[in-house]
A and B are shown apart, each in its own frame.
Chain A
Amino acid sequence: MFKRAIGRLYKDYLPPALLIVAFVGFWEVAVRLLSVPRYILPAPSRVASTILAKQSLLFGHTLVTLGEIGAGFMVALIVGVGLAVMLFHFSILERAIYPFIIASQTVPVFAIAPLLIVWFGYGIIPKVIMAAIIVFFPIVVNTVDGLRSADEDAVNLLRIMKANRLGILVKVRFPAALPFIFSGAKIGVAVSAIGAVIGEWVGSTKGLGYLMIHANAQLQIDLIFAAIFYLSVMAVGLFGLFSFIEWLSLPWRRV
């Protein structure tokens, strides 16, 4: 059992680990051989030492961004799933609103960010909204698809048992939609940082996006890379967290 787990870890994680090592090694060697100045491209070793040296600074800003993403995500999840249930049950609502939901995806979030800053100021709210906008779409679309994926014969069985709409939703449609909702949430959480960081770029005094803009102005490229590193780790961590919650919530899908 233990041996097999090790073997699987090996198979799953060895290829990407090797790729990262090769890439970082190439980067390090290239920078040193070509003597690239560090305000253009710092060597990975330098980025690593910045990551260590500025730990508390980076960590503080990461918490800010994480808070924005978390809040934005929760808002998107609640509003998204709620709206999807409404859209599913009232077809007139679906016909009226769905085109706008899709059209909204063609508006670049970059364009909205300055407006949100004007309306809501430099605080956390515009960033939360930005993150929510990005997460919202995959959650709504996936939830509607999920509700629709329920076995209509099972729905009819409950109708014959005289279950009401709420009963059918809770006992059949929602559980059927859960795997879809998790897919949407995982896509959403992986890209949610984009919204928060853009919000921070446009106007803020805290967060990894702020730190990046600030470092850019001072040509502290190593600090930018350090911030990107933290962002990536955070996104991967969130994705992993959601995969774990998914595993916990869908026991019937475990083999």
Chain B
Amino acid sequence: MKRNIKIKLSRIIKSFHRNGSSLKVLDGLDVEAAEGELVSIVGPSGCGKSTLFNIVSGLVVPDGGDIYLGGRKVDNCQGMVSYMQQKDLLLPWRTVLGNAVLGLEIAGVPKKDARREAERLLIEFGLEGFEKYYPSRLSGGMRQRAALVRTILTKKGLMLLDEPFGALDAMTRSAMQEWLLKAWREHGKTILFITHDVEEAIILSDRIYVLTPRPGRVRATFEVDLERPRTITETSFVKLKANLLGILREEDTTDYVQESYRAAV
């Protein structure tokens, strides 16, 4: 069954120029995600993962390449994606509820409706009773959950998550991954997920793109057909992880053949 392609990035090229020298960050990157898919992008630091998201969200203009959203060619996806990063970016002067409704408020949704929706989702994410708290009084995991609620509520079909759990401790992180999977199942979003944590990518994703060091290109693609919930001790999980790590650790990537893998039970 082939589903509709939600987002397709084709041959994306980007260089940054500073003090007369130029730095090629992305060199012909191809990434796509079907409607409702959770797709991870893994790569060494500095391979241009965040630049890729900035291009999709319209903060950075690419030098070349095309972006297709829902089959239509667009310049960028500004106003059509929701975005979350490692920093929770909760506004300190807004309560949890106030932060949760931010996206809806900007989209012009009536206050009452926005509040009602946010309250329901905050309960779903275990933040009941904390609606009137300022972010400074919450733990790291709760803050990130509040940020996730804001991201989901922004009501865009495509979510860009840039290492959203990178700053959390291992326990909290694993809990957050479960929250995310639950939200993903229930709200039917398409998710592009950046991480440098191979394990996290395997736990979450339908497909994993492994990028080369700068300039970023797709080194390998892994279709992950393992049943969820995935356990990190499963043989197929361990094999896939070893395979992924092996590719990430390659020193010399000047001459390679792009590979595709399929991991299944």
Contacts and interface: CB of A to CB of B under 8 A. Distances in A.
Partners in one complex: yes
Contacts, number: 50
Give 6 closest A-B pairs by Cβ, nearest first. Answer: A162-B79, A252-B134, A175-B93, A160-B57, A161-B106, A163-B106
A158 B136 contact: no
A252 B136 contact: yes
Contacts of B134: 251-252
Contacts of A156: 59
B78 interface: yes
Interface string A152-184: 011011111111000100011001001000000
Nearest to B56: A160
A167 B91 CA distance: 14
Interface string A113-143: 0000000000000000000000000000000
Interface residues of A, number: 19
Consensus secondary structure, chain B interface:
loop
A175 B78 CA distance: 24
Interface of A: 151, 153-154, 156-163, 167, 171-172, 175, 178, 250-252
Given A252-B134, A252-B136, A161 B89 contact: no
Contact of B83 (A157, A167, A171, A252): A157
A159 B154 CA distance: 13
A67 to B, nearest CB: 33
A178 B154 CA distance: 27
Nearest to B85: A153
Contact of B59 (A154, A159, A250, A252): A159
Given A157-B83, A162-B106, A252-B136, A151 B93 contact: no
Contacts of A154: 89, 91
